[in-house]
Structure 1
Amino acid sequence: MSEISRMIVINNKNLEIQQKGNRGTPIVIVTGMGNSFDEWHEVTEALSKRNTVIMFHRPGLGRSEIGDESRTTQAVADELKELLTQLNIVEPFILVGHSYGGLCAQHFAKLYPSHLRGLVLVDSTSVDFQLLDDLTLPVLNEDSTDEAWIEKCNLYSSMNKDELSKILNPSLTRKQKQFPPEIQERLMDFQVNPTLYKAMCSEIKNWKVDAEIIKGLGDFHNLPLVVIGRDKEYCIQLGVDEGFPEWEIRIFEDKWQELIMDQVNLSSNSKLIFAERSGHLLYMDRPDVLIQSITELNSDSDT
């Protein structure tokens, strides 16, 4: 197995990519908002034994440079297409998208279905996520509106790394502490990068318009699609343990699960999985489910 982390130039800016493995069907993973590709270490280590796995940090994330351009799902789709061209990936590949990365993956899949061998949406943001904002949840919504996040990200983007470290007090999960030391160091540094919050601010400003654009692009026809969702009851219990009202958490999780289930209708060739004992970071909580699902999709495409 080979592992290559390097920079390539797209739109006159350096973009950080990671490539593991050098065989089989390419698997391209698009991370969620504010998430590093290093968080996927366990999943990519397993998949790269039989496949080429490609990940990239969107502009502003990690070492990827960002300018003053708007960060949209269309921009991500364009960057991904150019990335594949530069890496000489010409055969159909499996595209995996988590959370906001799933929204980006949906945009790419609708624009370039012939490029894909299959699509995996991992607890993906729905094109109808506006319905979540319409829920009356006074405690949950107190600090989680788009406006609140934009204000917070604007503030963080104006700070330096030392200032962010004092405010955010970055830490690693128990699982991440088992990763190689160099990855742990990268994950800690990732959290206190001011450009991360500049990117998030722009992504949040644009994602509702992006969702409407994606909806207008139609469906995936018969593209092999796997939709993986989190464990609703497990997430409700986590929320209660954190002190949130159970009735609010239940309403939110009911709607989230409904939106996940709706994504199955994007293709006539789809499969739905709910990963038991998993929260939103499914690749951390249940990497085994994700690895198996992608592996099976790859095998099914061979037959």
Structure 2
Amino acid sequence: MGKISQFLIINQNKIEILQKGQNGTPIIILTGMGCSFDEWYEVTESLSKSNRVIMFHRPGLGASEIGHGVRNTQTVVNEVSEMIRLLKLSEPVVLVGHSYGGLCVQHFVKEYPEKVAGIVLVDSTSVDLKVLDDLNVPVLNEGSTDEIWMEKCRAYSQMKREELRGIINPTLTEKQKLLPNDIQKRLMNFQINPSLYEAMYSEISNWKRDGEIIKNLKVYLDIPLIVISRDKEYTIKFGTMDGLPEWELRLFEEKWQELIMNQVNLTLKSKFYIAQGASHSIHFDRPDIIVQSINEINSLFI
């Protein structure tokens, strides 16, 4: 079950790979935008007891080289396909995607359905994410539009690590403080990497266009899928505790859950679960439901 850290050369970039476990159907987990695979420690520790689990840091994240290419879902699809080839994964894999990683999973399965045995989407970005821009939520949008995030990412990408440390002041959540010390240190350093923000700038620049491209890939899929949504009421409750207007939160969360529920239409074999008591970071709040869902997909192949 030991952790194997290594690097692969993909598209001439050195890419950081995490592998745990050696048996069972391979599970590839794609993280959200700007997220480290170390955040998934609890999930991967559990899954690796019965399966080979593989994660990677997209170019610019962690110790992966940023390179010079455009960061979009098509690029990630190509990288995952090459990773599968280099790791000599001859059998179809279970693909898990959280947030932006889920958008990449939706793209991958439409291009390479023969390489996928099952899918778990964890509060995944929707191919229709642009409709969120039409919501009348001025307070929620204050400081958090794509344009504002891109401006921040562009500025951060041009700073030195210590300059970023002073501005971002990286901290850990209470749940992250329960992780092993080496993981905590990696998570702190992960946030002050200028290339992280260069990658995020490119991903944000392209993700709405990516959503349209994925929607237009008309592919008949008959692959087992589980869609997991965050808890709408839980998210609204904590948003109001931060001083955000409840009516805006409710409008946004109802639309978000609608978009998540629509993802069951990706295949003919799908289920939908709500992760009770979980925010967008379901892998922290309810790792059990992710493990349960992956094991449920896995049980189809035993």
TM, length-normalised to structure 2: 0.99
The whole-number CA distance in structure 2 between the counterparts of 1:76 and 1:221 is: 20
- 1:261–1:219 distance in 2 versus 1, CA, 3 Å: farther
The range that moved more, 214-223 or 124-133, is 214-223
SS of 2:291's partner is: helix
- CA distances 1:205-225 after superposition (whole Å, capped 9, x unpaired): 011111111001124521100
User: Partner of 1:236 in structure 2?
Assistant: 236
SS of 2:138's partner is: coil
Specify the code of the residue in structure 2 equivalent to 1:51.
N
The whole-number CA distance in structure 1 between the counterparts of 2:44 and 2:174 is: 18
User: Partner of 1:69 in structure 2?
Assistant: 69
The whole-number CA distance in structure 2 between the counterparts of 1:136 and 1:180 is: 42
Instruction: Judge conservation of contact 1:219–1:267 (CA < 8 Å) in 2.
Output: no
The whole-number CA distance in structure 1 between the counterparts of 2:299 and 2:67 is: 40
User: Partner of 2:100 in structure 1?
Assistant: 100
The whole-number CA distance in structure 1 between the counterparts of 2:300 and 2:233 is: 31
The whole-number CA distance in structure 2 between the counterparts of 1:150 and 1:199 is: 10
Instruction: Judge conservation of contact 1:219–1:266 (CA < 8 Å) in 2.
Output: no
The whole-number CA distance in structure 1 between the counterparts of 2:122 and 2:5 is: 24
User: Partner of 1:206 in structure 2?
Assistant: 206
- CA distances 1:36-82 after superposition (whole Å, capped 9, x unpaired): 00000000000000000000000000000012211010000000000
Identity %: 60
The whole-number CA distance in structure 2 between the counterparts of 1:237 and 1:175 is: 19
Matches within 5 A, 1:240-255: 240-255=240-255
**1:2 maps onto 2:2 in alignment:** yes
Matches within 5 A, 1:28-47: 28-47=28-47
Instruction: Judge conservation of contact 2:21–2:51 (CA < 8 Å) in 1.
Output: yes
User: Partner of 2:134 in structure 1?
Assistant: 134
SS of 1:15's partner is: strand
CA shift at 1:301, angstroms? 3.2
CA shift at 1:121, angstroms? 0.3
The whole-number CA distance in structure 2 between the counterparts of 1:5 and 1:134 is: 43
User: Partner of 1:184 in structure 2?
Assistant: 184
User: Partner of 1:269 in structure 2?
Assistant: 269
Instruction: Judge conservation of contact 2:157–2:198 (CA < 8 Å) in 1.
Output: yes
The whole-number CA distance in structure 2 between the counterparts of 1:83 and 1:68 is: 19
Specify the code of the residue in structure 2 equivalent to 1:69.
G
SS of 2:268's partner is: coil
CA shift at 1:164, angstroms? 0.7
CA shift at 1:157, angstroms? 0.5
**1:117 maps onto 2:146 in alignment:** no
The whole-number CA distance in structure 1 between the counterparts of 2:269 and 2:291 is: 20
The whole-number CA distance in structure 1 between the counterparts of 2:246 and 2:74 is: 37
The whole-number CA distance in structure 1 between the counterparts of 2:291 and 2:175 is: 16
CA shift at 1:240, angstroms? 0.4
Instruction: Judge conservation of contact 2:123–2:229 (CA < 8 Å) in 1.
Output: yes
The whole-number CA distance in structure 2 between the counterparts of 1:301 and 1:255 is: 35
SS of 1:280's partner is: coil
CA shift at 1:16, angstroms? 0.3
Specify the code of the residue in structure 2 equivalent to 1:102.
G
**1:174 maps onto 2:174 in alignment:** yes
The whole-number CA distance in structure 1 between the counterparts of 2:275 and 2:219 is: 25
User: Partner of 1:161 in structure 2?
Assistant: 161
- CA distances 1:118-159 after superposition (whole Å, capped 9, x unpaired): 000000000001111111111111111110000000011011
TM, length-normalised to structure 1: 0.98
The whole-number CA distance in structure 2 between the counterparts of 1:13 and 1:221 is: 32
Instruction: Judge conservation of contact 2:113–2:221 (CA < 8 Å) in 1.
Output: no
SS of 2:141's partner is: coil
RMSD of Structure 2 on Structure 1 (CA): 0.8
SS of 2:80's partner is: helix
**1:80 maps onto 2:80 in alignment:** yes
The whole-number CA distance in structure 1 between the counterparts of 2:212 and 2:170 is: 35
The whole-number CA distance in structure 2 between the counterparts of 1:103 and 1:132 is: 15
Unmatched 5+ residue regions in structure 1?
A: none
